[in-house]
Amino acid sequence: MATPASRPQRWWSIEEAAAARIDRSSLRAWADGGLSYLERRPAEAGRAVVVWVDPDTGRTEDRSPRGRSVGTRILGYGSSAVALLEGRTLCVVDAADSQIWSDEGGGFRAVLEPSDPARYGELAALDATHLVAVAEEGGDRPQRRLVTIEVSTGRVTTLFQGPDFLLGPVVNPGGTKVAFVGWDRPQMPWEGAQVLELDLRSQSVTVVAGAQGGAAYSPIYGPDGRLWCIDERAGWSEPWVLEAGVLRQALTTEADWAEVPWTSERRSMAPLGDGRVVLARSEGWRDVLVLATPAGEEVAIESDLVKVQDLLAYDGGVAILGSTGTERVDLLLLDPSTGECRRPVPRRHRRRPTALAERLEFCAASDGRVLHGAYTPPGSESRPPAAGPPPLILSCHGGPTASCDPSFDPVVQVLSSRGFAVAHCDYRGSTGYGRQFRRALDGHWGVADAEDAADLARALVAAGLADPSAIGIRGGSAGGLTALNAMASGVFVAAAVRYGVADLLRLAEETHDFEAGYLDTLVGPLPEAASRYRAQSPINRVERFQGAFLLLQGREDPVVPLSQAEAMASALRAGGRPVELVVFDGEGHGFRRADTQAAALVHEVRFFTRFLRPSAAVDR
């Protein structure tokens, strides 16, 4: 074991990595010229705080209620919990009890009556005194309504009710129309969502997009009142715009221009006042900023961004929450007239990565398909080239309808600085490559994704980028199922799984409302496909598995309950497989507290050090 004196100069400590895992979302523009975002802080037990930023000086202030965490989980994975009335009055949802708090200059006060049984989220400002929101009531299969809330009295008025799910309301500049997304069980929003528009004067609702052979989502009004949205009718998530009552395709480049809507907080379009629009176009492993003209011409904007989290047009240009190869999600400001991107707040940390991710595209799948992903080599100071191919840890993203993120990740830096190479796999079913590739996982979850993970590892071995005797795999949630099933390939010697899916039949019975019908697509409808559920569940494949297992789980997880991890651990022990189960109290689906993140990473580093034997690894 290396001593502190012998550690590489760019060594990343586990505590340092846990402290650096700060997430930011929910851009808002203020009337005073400032901007704000929601910042989730692991050091404060995962508390989410509205942070105001002066774009000229970089000065920051916490603006949300002291001691409270902002957030709402009305749709399972959270939703918009921040709104500004006329850019001045901050309204937020308390993550603990769904109460809405309003700051009208004299401090925060509660908006809703304590007896109100509903839970609220998806906040948007309607005018100086009213919010638009989604209200949710009920237990396992709640009802949802689009409502207005009078901030001064807490009076709630229903605007619309119909679809099982409602997401992302936005208000036009005149305050006369509200556009939003709606869809029904058992579909997910990227399978069957529609963009609807409610005229507040006539109370009429119109289907704008999504009824033409593909889902539609992510509505946003431009300063000129035109309604933009993402429409998948052509097989890609492409921008369309409503003009004079006619919806037309704004750009013709075949690409995914938006992430699928797990929440409403990832905006990939920012319409400007002159008819132009700034967008984020996916190129698989990374996003590219594009400035599009009214004529449909596209101009790529030079930047070091890898992933774009949010875009927002404001008086000074376009605000961006995005990540680079060297920085986690942070605020950048774009001047559309010059294409210049600048960072108003100084860099959050002075440490540089030990290594940067590189794009992977191998025509090496077992059936000749191209494999997609990213590869971060071990830090040069932790493993000299003469040491030969490094031990490899392959990381499987969650979702599974999502994609890998090769931007700066402190966890990857911890592993790289200890002599591990880290690869990310965009297996079949991932986003960013069009609807056909995304739907290639339908009916085959746990099979096609695990095959792709094993094939990518084999390709890295063939390229001399991994030691074939020292390959591990890690994944969380849906990525945990991928990692577990990949252990049947004979490629991997160790698997570390965070809140991973182990039993598909049990998941179908226990999971939350948002994903209640997800498995109908990923595996098949029940009861007809029950045999497929059993065959593709890791808990029923233990006899095929090789290697050792580490299971990390939150005790309060509502998405993949603790019962999954406990049952998987029991099955592995019964099958004679080495397994360790670690349960964290007070944690749910995704570890939020810095102490939990650090403890989980300590377990992973020790686990992979034991079974993959990197030359420079230590546990802190």
**Hey, which bits of 114-187 come out as E strands?**
119-125, 130-137, 143-150, 156-160, 165-171, 177-183
Give residue 6's pLDDT: 33
State how far the Cα of 231 lies from the Cα of 215, in Å rounded to an integer.
6
Whether residue 374 has pLDDT greater than 70:
yes
Whether residue 425 has pLDDT greater than 80:
yes
Domains 27-265 and 358-520+547-612 share a fold: no
Whether residue 10 has pLDDT greater than 90:
no
From 5-9, 70-74, 98-102, 398-402, the region with the lowest mean pLDDT? 5-9
Task: Note the pLDDT tens digit of each residue in 521-542.
Answer: 999 999 999 999 999 999 999 9
Task: Note the pLDDT tens digit of each residue in 236-251.
Answer: 999 999 998 999 999 9
Task: Note the pLDDT tens digit of each residue in 431-469.
Answer: 999 999 999 999 999 999 999 999 999 999 999 999 999
Contacts with 423 (C-beta within 8 Å, 6 or more apart), sequence order: 360, 373, 374, 375, 376, 392, 393, 394, 395, 456, 457, 460, 466
Give residue 380's pLDDT: 62
Give residue 345's pLDDT: 83
Average pLDDT of the chain is 90
Mean per-residue pLDDT for 125-142? 93
Split at pLDDT 50, 70, 90, the class of 369 is confident
SS3 readout for 20-54: HCCEEEEEEECCCCCEEEEEEEHHHCCEEEEEEEC
Whether residue 568 has pLDDT greater than 90:
yes
Whether residue 87 has pLDDT greater than 80:
yes
Q: Of 348 and 180, which is predicted with more confidence?
A: 180
Architecture in CATH of 27-265 = 6 Propeller (2.120)
State the CB neighbour count (10 A cutoff) for residue 283: 12
Give residue 22's pLDDT: 85
Instruction: Please say whether the beta carbons of 236 and 435 come within 8 A.
Output: yes
Q: Of 69 and 511, which is predicted with more confidence?
A: 69
Whether residue 7 has pLDDT greater than 70:
no
Task: Note the pLDDT tens digit of each residue in 146-188.
Answer: 999 999 999 999 999 999 999 999 999 999 999 999 999 999 9
Split at pLDDT 50, 70, 90, the class of 2 is very low
Give residue 213's pLDDT: 79
Split at pLDDT 50, 70, 90, the class of 348 is low
User: Hunting for tokens 């949630």 — which residue is that?
Assistant: 477
Give residue 360's pLDDT: 81
Q: Is 263 left (phi over 0), alpha (psi -120 to 50) or beta?
A: beta
Mean per-residue pLDDT for 129-145? 93
Split at pLDDT 50, 70, 90, the class of 350 is low
Instruction: Please say whether the beta carbons of 530 and 505 come within 8 A.
Output: yes
State the CB neighbour count (10 A cutoff) for residue 139: 6
Whether residue 617 has pLDDT greater than 50:
no
Q: Of 285 and 574, which is predicted with more confidence?
A: 574
Give residue 474's pLDDT: 97
Domain definitions of the chain by residue range: 27-265, 268-348, 358-520+547-612
Q: Of 599 and 352, which is predicted with more confidence?
A: 599
Give residue 558's pLDDT: 82
Residue-wise over 252-282: b if at least 16 C-beta within 10 A, else e? eeebbbbbbbbbbbbbbbbbbeeebbbbbbb
Give residue 162's pLDDT: 94
What tokens does 361 get? 């595209």
The proportion of the chain whose per-residue pLDDT surpasses 90, expressed as a percent, equals 71
Residue-wise over 403-416: b if at least 16 C-beta within 10 A, else e? bbbbbbbbbbbbbb
Task: Note the pLDDT tens digit of each residue in 188-202.
Answer: 999 999 999 999 999
Whether residue 120 has pLDDT greater than 50:
yes
Task: Note the pLDDT tens digit of each residue in 304-334.
Answer: 899 999 999 998 799 999 998 888 889 999 9
Mean per-residue pLDDT for 582-604? 90
From 30-44, 81-95, 174-188, 369-383, the region with the lowest mean pLDDT? 369-383
Fold adopted by 358-520+547-612: Rossmann fold (3.40.50)
State how far the Cα of 376 lies from the Cα of 57, in Å rounded to an integer.
35
3-state secondary structure of 566: helix
What one-letter code names the amino acid at 171?
A: V
Mean per-residue pLDDT for 115-122? 91
